[in-house]
Structure formats: C-alpha cells, structure tokens
Chains A and B, each alone.
Chain A
Amino acid sequence: MPSTLIDPTLEGVARALTVHARRHGVLAENVANLETPGFHARDTDFRRALEAAFSTARAGEAAPHVETVREDTSVPPRADGNTVDLDLQMAQLSDNASRYGTLSRILAKRLALIRHGIEGAR
C-alpha cells in the first residue's frame, strides 16, 4: 500500500536530493580550501547522477552507485597551484542549494497532498 503512496517520481526526488547534498559537501570543501596551496577544485558527476536518480526510480530499480568526484579542470592553477575560483564555486553552490530547496519543497507539497487525499475533507 505505501508503495502507491510514494510514487516513483517522489522516490526520484529523494534520490536527487542526496545527489545535491553530496555535491554541496564537495563544493563546500572547495570554498574551505580557497587559500590552500596546491588544492585542486573538484565537483561531482551530478548531472549524470540526477538523471540516474529519476530513471532508476521510474524503473523501480535500486538507487544507482554513488557518483564519482572528479577534479574540475576548467580553472588554470594560480601561482601556488590552487585552482579554486571563488566566484565560480559560489555560483555553483548557490545553484545547487536552490535546486535542493526546490526539490525539498516539491516533495513536501506532494506529501501534503497525499495526506489530504487520505484524510479527505471532513
């Protein structure tokens, strides 16, 4: 019965939230190491992971493997070898956080509707 309560889309949303949460950690680390000599900025393979989150949920499959972390090679190293571009990181972080927030609220809303559907108008 509960499997009809939580439809595949919502399961996909839950998995996507985890993808965003993991990316947040990696981006936070980049910002923390803004001034660390030799530190290379990294990012997760989140785009692929987001697609996989929804496609596996729709297909009723288990959650996909945890996505990989790769070095972000888009920024050339500074004199001390550090490749963290603060503006880029903050933009990515902001975007990622707002997607997390949006998905959370979508989930909350859908659950509220389900609850309303169960209890109905009294």
Chain B
Amino acid sequence: MDLLSSTFAISASALRAERIRIDTVATNLANAHTTQTVEGGPYRRKTVLFAARALDEFGQMLDDLGRSARPAGVDVTDVVEDATPPRMVFDPGHPDANPEGYVAHPNVDPIVEMVDLQAATRAYEANVQVVNATRRMSDAALSIIG
C-alpha cells in the first residue's frame, strides 16, 4: 500500500476504537439507574481497553522506519466491567431493595462518563483531522502530473 493510503488505515482504526468507546459511555449513561439486569444485580459500568496495533504483513513497508515491529493504529482489545462495587442507597420501599433495605445502584458516575465522553470525542475529532490532512497530501501529490 502506498505510504499515504496506509495512514488512512491507521486513522480508521482510531476512529473505530473511539466510536466503540463513545458507544460504551452511552450505554453506561443509559443504564445509570438500571438496578436489575437480566443477569441479576445492578448494571455494571463498562470500559474499553485500548492497545496499539502491531504491524501486520501489509504494513511491512512502514517497518522500513525501524527495526522492531511498530504500531500501525489502535484496537479495542476488550470491553471490561468496572469492578468498583455498586452504590448502595437506603431505599426500603424500592422493589429491588435487599433485606437490609438497601438498593444496589450501578457504579456509573455521570460526571466520570461525561469526562470520558469528552476525551473520546476529542480523540475522534483529532483523527478526523488527520484523515483530512492525509487527503490534502494525496491531492497535492496528484497535482504533480498537472
């Protein structure tokens, strides 16, 4: 793949990863008050794990830059549950109250989610900018033949 085209693949991987992250935040927020899930118990906050993508064979040309395998983008490797215990709220009248009168609420803090959303959005938009820059460079290269 030519040098600039392969950059599109790198940015695309980031756009995809950040979008998954944003979707996860949306799910967390949507379920912030879900005290009873299908699996039982309150909704548990989910977070995504990012890892730099290792070079695949198609990206071999980029390997010219360094001796060791170099990253070629980013991937969401897993969506994991936050192990923070649920928020216990004293509410004996609630249908999901336990024998002691406490209801287990999801360990979702809307403020934390919004901060995460902001970071993900910023990262997403930055990678869109990178795509635009790559396109501008490609256009400039095409103009060489007039």
- On chain A, the residues within 8 Å of B14 by CB distance are 31-34
For A1-45 the 0/1 string (1 means CB < 8 A from B) is 000000000000000011011101111110111111101000010
Chain A interface SS verdict (over half):
helix
Are B140 and A29 touching (Cβ within 8 A)?
no
For A75-100 the 0/1 string (1 means CB < 8 A from B) is 00000000000100110011001001
Whose C-beta in chain A lies nearest to the C-beta of B116? A35
Q: Smallest distance from the beta carbon of A48 to chain B beta carbons, Å? A: 14
Chain B interface SS verdict (over half):
helix
Beyond A32-B17, A97-B133, 11 additional pairs, beta carbon < 8 A: A24-B7, A29-B52, A31-B123, A31-B130, A33-B71, A33-B73, A35-B50, A66-B64, A67-B65, A104-B140, A111-B146
Question: In the complex, which of the residues A29, A86, A90, A112 contacts B71, with contact meaning CB atoms closer than 8 Å?
Answer: A29
Are B70 and A69 touching (Cβ within 8 A)?
yes
Listed by A's residue number, 20 A-B pairs whose Cβ atoms lie within 8 Å are A17-B141, A18-B3, A20-B137, A22-B3, A22-B62, A22-B65, A28-B11, A28-B130, A29-B52, A32-B11, A32-B14, A32-B130, A66-B65, A69-B70, A97-B134, A97-B137, A100-B137, A101-B137, A104-B140, A111-B146
Q: How many residues of A contact B (CB 8 A)?
A: 39
Are B144 and A104 touching (Cβ within 8 A)?
yes
- Residues of A whose CB lies within 8 Å of any CB of B are 17-18, 20-22, 24-29, 31-37, 39, 44, 66-69, 86, 89-90, 93-94, 97, 100-101, 104-105, 107-108, 111-112, 115
Q: How many residues of B contact A (CB 8 A)?
A: 41
Compute how far the CA of A104 lies from the CA of B134 in the bound complex, rounded to whole angstroms: 14
Q: Smallest distance from the beta carbon of B14 to chain A beta carbons, Å? A: 4
- On chain B, the residues within 8 Å of A37 by CB distance are 50
Whose C-beta in chain B lies nearest to the C-beta of A27? B130
Are A33 and B52 touching (Cβ within 8 A)?
yes
B4 on the interface (CB 8 Å rule)?
Answer: yes
Q: Smallest distance from the beta carbon of B4 to chain A beta carbons, Å? A: 6
Compute how far the CA of A67 lies from the CA of B72 in the bound complex, rounded to whole angstroms: 17
Question: In the complex, which of the residues B65, B72, B74, B140 contacts A101, with contact meaning CB atoms closer than 8 Å?
Answer: B140
- Residues of B whose CB lies within 8 Å of any CB of A are 3-4, 6-7, 10-11, 13-14, 17-18, 21, 50-52, 62, 64-66, 70-74, 119-120, 122-123, 126-127, 129-130, 133-134, 136-137, 140-141, 143-146
Q: Smallest distance from the beta carbon of B73 to chain A beta carbons, Å? A: 5
Whose C-beta in chain B lies nearest to the C-beta of A70? B66
